[in-house]
Structure 1
Amino acid sequence: MIDMFLHAPTRQALATDLAPLGLTVDGDLAYSSHRHNLMDLIETDDGGVTVALCCLDDALALAVQAAVFPAGTAIVSRPENAPVPAGGASENLETAKAVACAAIDAEAERRRLMVLTPGDGQTLEYQHTAHDAARADTAPDPLTPAAYPFLVAEQTALARVDVALTLRQVVDLVVYQRATWLAYGAAVKAARRGAKLAIDEAATPLDVAVVLAGVVWPELAEHL
């Protein structure tokens, strides 16, 4: 839930600008829907109006933020002593930040798990396999199988699905897969950290929503 404040030169101008967003009915302002609540705040002698718009979903707030208002409506700062729009108080900024950061962390982990299997034991397996490959990569041929048990395990597993590789070919495969993961994992980190740092700097819940909607995650296919 995000509060926004809008000023327009006239009530009709406000209705004209909000119509494309679905916030009017029969050409007049709609004061309530499943997506919003609207409250009149100020109406000046020259016909200018300021209203409070409570967006009940972030998508509407983002649409208002991105909208071009040809009739002169503008997003303005919260007027002094402005009441809370109908529908309840907006989300606290710190709460909005915490929720957004949790969502970003969850999405980053979901993307990591597209290429990794979770688990402490599995992590050790990855580490030992990478260690074997790093040692074997600089060792001369012929490689001694007993010195590289995790590479032999990979070779055996591949043979069971009719993929016959030499131990040297397994080394090359593991080195390639690790390099691919490192590039993809680093790209995920860059997106995650950049978004969370931007959220730390956000001044309003709307700013938080804008950052969250604008996160560009790396595509796995780009790193294969």
Structure 2
Amino acid sequence: MSSINTLVLVFISINFIFTTVSTKDCDTISNFFIKNNLMFLNSTESVVFLPSDFEYKIENWKDFDGDHNEYHNLITYNDELINSLSETDLSISDDELTGAVYSSLVNNEKLHDLISVFSNRYVVRTDRSTRVFTIDYAQFYYIENTKCDKFQVQYTRSVIKGLICKISFATGLRYTVKCGSVVLGLLPLDKNGQLEYETRCT
């Protein structure tokens, strides 16, 4: 770290507020601030996602329900499965979350199978093929009816564990950093940008 940034660290007060965060997570946050040399302070408010683990999960077969035919990315926060962080104590909008996930993937060194990243999706190489997953938390997807009267649906989610942090300007040289552990469940997309899934008649 340069001498200028060292001086800045002395005079800037950063208040940390952690929810569901382990000691290991605290180290991750500290390393982030050191590596980024406080460049986040250029804005009055920013959201940062720090991924720690990547995996792919095949969902169980589920009966198709035409009355609830909406599928979207999920997020687990405080052990609760929710659709958005906007109504939580972090108060992070869907667009902010999408942008934070995008930035984390662009600069990620842990996801070795990553091929490319776009503003609303990313492409990875798996054991069997190339897969696309959406990172857009404001988008909903739908399943088309089949020739079967009743059928079940199955798809594979990309599951990313990590920390989500909201950095807010307080006053003077004071900033507040509020973080929480999250698990993202991202939907797969087909070549047309629609939900990729399998069906079977029941």
TM-score norm. by structure 1 comes to 0.27
TM-score norm. by structure 2 comes to 0.29
Structure with the bigger RCO (C-alpha within 8 Å, sep 6+) is 2
More strand by share: 2
More helix by share: 1
